[in-house]
Amino acid sequence: MSTDEDYKLEQLKELLAQNPADLELRIELGEELLEHGMAKEALAHWCVAAEMFAEHEDYLSAVGLLNRLLDVQPHHEKAQSLLSSFYAKVPRQPTARFTVPGAAAQPVSDMSVEPGSNLFKLPEESARALAQLLPFVAE
């Protein structure tokens, strides 16, 4: 480790001591510690940063950081625990709607399907046309 690398690491530690709520600084320190072979200390900083993201309800950033942490140490128990609790809180996109021309839109979850029906079965006329176009399609 060169003197410049040591100096940068010490500077980051001092800055974080003065600004413990600085998420960018905490994450950068974690990266620097990881590069210096101090994985345990680096991952501890990332766990704290993930918890801080969650305190601000930024669960997506928390989950992203925890995934990065688990890339480094896949069996990190605290990261796994935090990830499972934060992942459930990540905002989801609204449910897609399935529409048929001329029909009122309804959520897919509201559609009922008869037991034993095949949603992917083509109408007979379409199946014949497809079979003529693609001879390798089995009937």
Q: What are 35-85's pLDDT values in tens digits?
A: 999 999 999 999 999 999 999 999 999 999 999 999 999 999 999 999 999
**The pTM is what?**
0.62
User: What domains does the chain contain, in order, with CATH numbers?
Assistant: 3-87 (1.25.40)
Q: What are 23-45's pLDDT values in tens digits?
A: 999 999 999 999 999 999 999 99
Residue 62 and residue 54 in contact, taking contact as beta carbons nearer than 8 Å:
yes
Distance of alpha carbon 46 from alpha carbon 48, whole angstroms: 5
Residue 96 and residue 74 in contact, taking contact as beta carbons nearer than 8 Å:
no
